[in-house]
Amino acid sequence: MTILRLRGREFRPGEFAIMAVVNRTPDSFFDRGRTYGFDAALEAVDAAVAAGADIVDIGGVKAGPGDEVDPAEEIRRVADLVAAVRRRHPRLIISVDTWRAEVGEVVAQAGADLLNDTWGGVDPALAGVAAEHGIGLVCAHAGRVAPRTRPHRIAYTDVVADVVRYTVDLAERAAAAGVPRESILIDPAHDFGKNTWHSLEVSRRLDEMVATGWPVLVAVSNKDFVGETLGGLPVAERHAGTLATLAVSAWQGARVFRVHDAASARTALATVTGLRRRPGRPAPPPDAPGDGRRTNQE
């Protein structure tokens, strides 16, 4: 199984990385614009690092339907923030949530280490940007739908088989384009081009993605499928369900976890690490990823 390498750091099989979400959007489903302002976003990054985040994922466009955000506006929202975070946290792994190659080019120059393409390769040039700059790429499955859309009654013969086939194909094409293999991740993209049943099925069978050998990223934090599974809970009441889903994902071998609450996610995943450790197996050193403590970022 592949060792994941990002910004000179290594995450081996059985170790996890916490990816904290920081959105520079006025209409995020989770924080409703709380970190839209530049200073607020920078403070949120600081807080995430203090809480133990290994990666911070910066986004400039709401995932769901909403006001149009053109590439120039997306760049305005994220590029300066990436540069400021790079100066402030030299060792932090910076990810940018974008599907656009022109945005990827600007943020790569500003100091990003990872391009998080949650819309499944709709802009094939994005992989070329990652290759040119020697940075990582997330290859996701979004049901082949247009960005920021919610398809009506989408169906799959076998959703997990479709997810595995599509993400592995994207990952292999990215590697062929020159993206470092050890810096490519695959992501089932829960709720993207999927209904709640599909997202639950992917969660139950996540080990089939892990078995491909590519590092698996899961982004389940406070998502709709969690709320619907628990009887229609609103976003503010999905925290416990999120932690349960993270634990199930970690037990099956997921490696990177995109979350809104880095501290509680790290505690939950450290518990999974402890439960999986067999008698006689030495504990990882205190600064190793996956031991439940904050890793040294500075």
Contact call for residues 201 and 159 (beta carbons, < 8 A): yes
Which fold is adopted by the domain 15-276?
Answer: TIM Barrel (3.20.20)
pLDDT in tens, 185-228: 999 999 999 999 999 999 999 999 999 999 999 999 999 999 99
- Burial of 287 (C-beta count, 10 Å sphere; 0-12/13-18/19+): exposed
Is 121 in a helix, a strand, or coil? coil
Query: The pTM is what?
Result: 0.92
The confidence score (pLDDT) of residue 36 equals 95
Low pLDDT (below 70) residues in the chain: 280-298
Two tokens, residue 57? 């994922």
Buried b (16+ CB within 10 A) or exposed e, 73-110: ebbebbbebbbbbeeebeebbbbbbbbbbebbbbbbeb
At a CB cut-off of 8 Å and minimum separation 6, what does 131 contact?
174, 177, 178, 179
The confidence score (pLDDT) of residue 281 equals 59
